[in-house]
Structure 1
Amino acid sequence: MTAMDTPADRTAARRSVEGLALGDAFGERWFPLFREPRRAFDEIRARRVPEEPDWHWTDDTAMALALLRVLEEHGHVDQDRLASCFALTHAADPARGYGHGMHMLLPALLDAPEDWRRLAPELFDGGSLGNGAAMRVAPLGAWFSPDLDQVVRQAELSAQVTHAHPEGITGAVAVAVAAALSARGEAGIAAVAERTPASAVRDGLLRAAALPFATEPWRAADVLGNGQRIRADDTVPFAVWTAVRHRDDLVAALWATAEGLGDVDTTCAVTGGIVAAATGVDAVPEEWLGRREAVPGT
């Protein structure tokens, strides 16, 4: 069976991107308070909803939407088309919070998207091992959820366009598998680790699988990482842990993830995309959805 023949769960993919965008926009709201981390932590622990009237999402959502567009057009990851969509998305709004590597790579792909094969491995002397491929991939996992082998393969293809380092690719695989299992009602950290290639990301997932859910999220972040190093292995294990800890409650999952501070828009985007692949956003307060920037196509 080819990717073109694999049944697509389009509904789960759309649910996932809605949750990803909500997590991204919600998490981004906390950054202004991070100059006072104790205050930010206290606000989150008290479950005080950010007061801004408009919750804008970042590059996490912008790139997830570009990836979903390619899946809707082709039914699989066409890497050159994906590179073109990423480049066009960046050019349309480069102030979405892209990392340094993407500011270098994506403009160079506007006129020659196929050059990702040469340019992506040159980033950071061997390719990026950051969390960018992982932050955008949950809708892909939901899309291919009927076939876990395709989830792994298509996640790898989606990551390679920007993240040539094995850890960056493996981070995307882990999140895609977590989202697929969520969409199937089979969420479990050990099951995610089982499908994740040997790597620092997999090692982190195994630590997460052994960490009791009674652990306070901020303590879990101390053990697993909270994304502040902007690496896949420092981001994915904690986000998967909070997603599985609150597999049926998107709002609780986002609050728990925010408690870890760090790269909170990305960790919340990852968690949101995983949980919402199953739950959608129907149980989210209308106030939150009304403030969150609209998601095209939904």
Structure 2
Amino acid sequence: MWNPKDPNANATASLIGLSVADAFGNQFFDIANWQSVPFPGRQWEEPDYSTPDLTDRFLSADLTPPGPWEWTDDTQMACTVVEQLRHGRGIDPDRLVKAFAARVELKRDYGPSVLSILDEARAERPWRPLTAGAFGGSGSMGNGTAMRIAPLGAWFCDDLTHLEAQARLCSEVTHTHPDAIAGGIAVAVTAALAARRGAATRTELLEAVIDRVPRGEVETRLRAVAALGWDATATSVAAAVGNGQRTSCADTVPFCVWAAIRHLGNFPLAVRTAVSVGGDIDTNAAIVGGMVAAGTGFTTIPDAWIAAREPLPDWV
């Protein structure tokens, strides 16, 4: 649980959860290599993949890939965020983008627009015009900011106003579209509230997140999630607000916030819920894992999952 005197411990717990979940989810893109069952991949809409029997299998312990589990750019960039917090106690965009650029590993499956920005930063050229000018000047609305930001929420969970400002800075390095910034804030605030939730109910937590999220499509879909309630199935929530298939924050974050709050005390079930709807599987899992672990620490992450996950880099 939240320790106001040790933000590093809070962020580290969230990072461990994010990385384990990212690595777990990443294995399901290659599920045919180890298990003969159909899987929705990036197409949750196909009805054969949302049958109760199959969903039950994904949510049960019998469907677990063999290790080792490699993590993706979600974890690589989250590690860099935590490294920056440890050394700078806050987000400096110039320092952060240079650290992102220095830590790039192409095998982690970075998005092309992010790589272009980091190439500019690595070459000591102005990177802000490229970030702001992405996608015809609207800026990226992708979920790349949401995937890396939960540990920042855990770090600054004692001051939500300051957290919002820090989340904006962390997001704008690569994603300037208002929906991407809102998605980053939503995930960071959820992680912070999870860390310090006390006796708050699920509905109170979700309402508190919505109150902090800037108006726009992310906020609209979070309200749709609230209307669906906690008895809704994962597939019905994904059908209503998205499962990350389009890799935008609006298409990704609302479902992930629902899954995390719905299963806040149960890390494996929360992550399996994220995986069960397909879409951007590893990123969904990473976002959910980072938020849940901010609230539970290491207590509900299976030891076997931590052991199966590829070790984190020495520099973090």
Q: TM-score, normalised by structure 1?
A: 0.92
Between 1:152-161 and 1:46-55, the stretch displaced more is: 46-55
Q: Which runs of 5+ in 2 are unaligned?
A: 41-47
> What does residue range 114-129 of structure 1 map to in structure 2 within 5 Å?
115-125=126-136, 126-129=138-141
2:46 paired with 1:32:
no
Cα contact 1:19–1:275 (8 A) shared by 2: yes
Which residue in 1 is equivalent to 2:14? 16
Judge conservation of contact 1:59–1:98 (CA < 8 Å) in 2.
yes
| CA shift digits 1:90-136 (9 cap, x unpaired) | 1xx111011121122212211327x2321101221121000001110
Query: Which whole-Å CA distance do the structure 2 matches of 1:200 and 1:58 have between them?
Result: 27
2:207 maps to which residue? 190
1:217 aligns with 2:234: yes
Corresponding letter in the other structure for 2:270: A
- Structure 1 gap segments, 5+ residues each: 1-5
**Match for residue 288 of structure 2?**
271
Q: 124, 128, 135: which is aligned to 1:112?
A: 124
Q: Is the 8 A contact 2:59 2:269 kept in 1?
A: no
1:1-298 pair list within 5 angstroms: 9-33=7-31, 36-37=38-39, 42=54, 43-90=57-104, 93-112=105-124, 115-125=126-136, 126-185=138-197, 186=200, 188-296=205-313
Inter-partner Cα distance in structure 2 for 1:56 and 1:49: 17
Cα drift, residue 46 of structure 1:
4.6
CA-atom RMSD in angstroms: 2.0
Question: Is this contact kept in 1: 2:91–2:169, CA < 8 A?
Answer: yes
Cα pair 1:138 1:175 within 8 Å, conserved: yes
**What is the alpha-carbon distance in structure 1 between the residues aligned to residue 80 and residue 293 of structure 2?**
18
How many pairs does the alignment contain? 290
Give, as a single letter, the amino acid of the residue that structure 1 aligns with 2:114.
M
Residue aligning to 1:3? none
Q: Identify the residue that residue 45 of structure 2 maps to in structure 1.
A: none
Read off the aligned partner of 1:225 and give its amino acid letter.
G
Which stretch shifts more, 227-236 or 206-215? 206-215
Letter in 1 for 2:132: P
CA distance in 2, matches of 1:151, 1:8: 16
What is the percent sequence identity of the aligned residues?
A: 38
Q: Distance in 2 between matches of 1:259 and 1:249?
A: 15
**AA matched with 1:44:** F
**Which residue type is aligned with residue 164 of structure 1?**
T
Asked if the contact 1:129–1:232 (Cα under 8 Å) also holds between the matched residues in 2, the reply is yes
Structure 1 contact 8–144 (Cα < 8 Å) conserved: no
Amino acid paired to 2:298:
V
CA distance in 1 between counterparts of 2:117 and 2:49 reads 33
More moved, 37-46 vs 242-251: 37-46
Cα shift readout 1:231-250 (whole Å, capped 9, x = no counterpart): 00000000000000011111
Q: Is the 8 A contact 2:265 2:300 kept in 1?
A: no
Moved more, 98-107 or 248-257: 98-107
